Amino acid sequence: MSTPSIGIIGGGITGLVAAYRLANAGARVTVFESGSEVGGLAAGFTLAGHPVEKAYHFLYKTDAHILSLVDELGLTDKLTFHPSSVSTYYDGVLYPMMSPTDLIRFTPISLADRIRAGVTVLYLQRVKNWRKLSTITALEWLRKNAGRRVTDVIWEPLLRGKFDRYYDKVTMSWLWGRVKQRVDSRDPKIGEALGYFDGGFRVITDALMKRLAERGVDVRLDTRVSSLRNDGGQVVVATGSGEERFDRVLATVPSNVLAAMMPAYEDRDPAYFRKLRSIDYLDACVQVFATPQKITPYYWHNVNTPNAPFVVFLSLSNLVGAEKFGGLNIYYIGDYVPAEHEYMSMDPADLKRRWYAELKTIFPEFDPGQVVDDAVFRLRNAQHIVDIGFEENKLLPYQTPCPGVLMCNFSQIYPMDRGTNYAVRDGNEMADRILADLARSPAEAAAARPEPVVARI
C-alpha cells in the first residue's frame, strides 16, 4: 500500500505517539478522541493562570522511552529533575520517610519491626524472579515477611487507599514493580529524583499535536466511536458522524470499553471477550488547588489514617518550587474509588469542603479561605486491578478478534504499573506492528497467528 489509512481510537499518550510514528512513515492517520482534549490521564488545565495536570505526574530518571521522545521533540531544556521528599501521616503525626534513618525513627512500630520493615524493602530491591511473587497477594506476602504490625501500620492503609475493595486481591508482583521503579530512579547524591516539565506535561502533548498537524493527521475531539467491524478486509469505524474505512485500527481504550465496540465478534472468540470484561478498574477523583500558604515541607504524603477520605496529598510546588507558579503553592488531593462511589457524582463544592476539612485536621494552619483557585476532576478507568493469575487469565494479545483491529492499553503493561514512559513505549511498538503487518503479503497475513503479550521489564 502506498498510503495506508490508519484509525486510532483514543488521544492519550499511546495514541498520539503511535499516530506520530505512523504519520512519519507516510500513513494517513485519523485519531478519534471521545473527550474535548488530548493527553488522557496526563491531560492538563490552567490553575490560577498556570499550566498543570488534572492528575499528578512526574518522570523517573530511568524512563528511557519518554526521555528519548523528549529529546527527539527538542524539549530537553524544559525538563528538570528535582529531589523528592516523602512523608507518612499516621495517628495525627506527619513522619518523614525518605531514608533508613527516617524509618528507624518511625515510632508507631517497634524498633524490631522497623528493622524488619527495612530488611523487607531491601529484599524486594534484590528480587530478580518477580514471577514467584505473582502467586501471592501483596497483603499476604507482607504479613508473612514484614510482619502484621508493619503491614497494618505502613502497607495495608496504602493498599486500601490505592485499591479500595480490591486491596486484598492485588498480587505482590505489582507492588514489587512499584518498589523497583522507585529504587532504580534514586540518585546516589540526592536520593529519589523526579522529573517535571517547565510548563507541565502539556508541553509534550502540545509538541506532539504540532507535529501531527504538520503531517496532516486528523485529530477529532468529542468524537466517540460506537462500533468496529471488518468488511472486505477494511475496518469500518462508526461514530455519530457516520462510518469510515481504514486499513488498520488501533484502539487504546480500556478493555471494557473495547468490548462494547465490537459485540459482533464475541461468538468468534468468547474467551477473549471474557478476558476483556474480567479486568476490573477503579476510577480516580482528584482535587487540585492553589494557595499562597505553604503548609508542609514535603512533596508526597501517604495518608495512613484508617478510613481517611483520601489516600494521597502532594505539593507540586515543593517539588519544583513555588516560583514556577508566581509564588503560589500547588497541591493535589487524590483517591481511587469504584465507579459507583459517591465521589464520582457528588457536588464538587461538597467534596471540596469534605477534603478541606480533613486537610485542616492534618495541617491545622491550613486556611481554605486563602485558596485562590481549585478544581475537581473525575477520571474513569484510572487504575486496573492486577490480581493473582492476571498474566495467565487476563493479559490479552494486541490482535483482537476483529481482523485489522489492535488493542493496546495500560492493562498490558504487566508486571509494571501504568505511566507515561510505558505509554510512549507501547505507542512506538504499536506503530511498528501495524507497519510490519501492512508490509505482509495477503498469504502471510492470513497465516499469521496473534502474538501473545508477554511481561516486559
Residue 456 lies in a domain: no
Residues 294 and 347 both lie in one domain: yes
Confidence of residue 183 (pLDDT cuts 50, 70, 90): confident
Give the distance between the most distant pair of CA atoms in the chain.
71
Residue 92 lies in a domain: no
Residues 215 and 309 both lie in one domain: no
Supply the range of the domain harboring residue 272.
5-41+202-278+393-447
How far apart (Å, rounded) are the C-alpha atoms in residues 282 and 400?
Answer: 24
Per-residue pLDDT of 220-262, as tens digits, reads 999 999 999 999 999 999 999 999 999 999 999 999 999 999 9
Comparison of pLDDT for 417 and 58, the residue scoring more: 58
* Predicted structure pTM score: 0.94
How far apart (Å, rounded) are the C-alpha atoms in residues 410 and 208?
Answer: 20
How far apart (Å, rounded) are the C-alpha atoms in residues 408 and 196?
Answer: 26
CA–CA distances in Å: residue 449 to residues 145, 288, 445? 42, 46, 9
Task: Determine the length of the chain.
Answer: 457
Residue type, 412: Q
CA–CA distances in Å: residue 111 to residues 115, 150, 305? 6, 11, 21
Residues 274 and 399 both lie in one domain: yes
Per-residue pLDDT of 197-224, as tens digits, reads 999 999 999 999 999 999 999 999 999 9
Per-residue pLDDT of 153-182, as tens digits, reads 999 999 999 999 999 999 999 999 888 888
> What's the pLDDT at 453?
65
Residues 103 and 172 both lie in one domain: yes
Residues 377 and 287 both lie in one domain: yes
Residue 187 neighbours by CB distance under 10 Å: 12
Residues 286 and 363 both lie in one domain: yes
> What's the pLDDT at 191?
82
Residues 373 and 402 both lie in one domain: no
CATH no. for residue 160? 1.10.3110
In the listed set 384, 404, 438, which residue is the last one of a domain according to the structure? 384
Residues 118 and 185 both lie in one domain: yes
Q: Which of 270-279, 284-293, 433-442 has the lowest mean pLDDT?
A: 433-442
Confidence of residue 58 (pLDDT cuts 50, 70, 90): very high
Residues 350 and 435 both lie in one domain: no
Q: Cell triple for residue 170? A: 492485588
In the listed set 331, 365, 384, which residue is the last one of a domain according to the structure? 384
Residue 25 lies in a domain: yes
Per-residue pLDDT of 309-326, as tens digits, reads 999 999 999 999 999 999
Residues 376 and 338 both lie in one domain: yes
Number of domains in the chain: 3
CATH no. for residue 303? 3.90.660.20
Residue 421 lies in a domain: yes
Residues 110 and 256 both lie in one domain: no
End-to-end CA distance of the chain: 34
Residue 314 lies in a domain: yes
DSSP character string of 355-369: HHHHHHHH-TT--GG
CA–CA distances in Å: residue 428 to residues 16, 21, 219, 303, 343? 10, 7, 18, 37, 35
Q: Cell triple for residue 25? A: 512513515
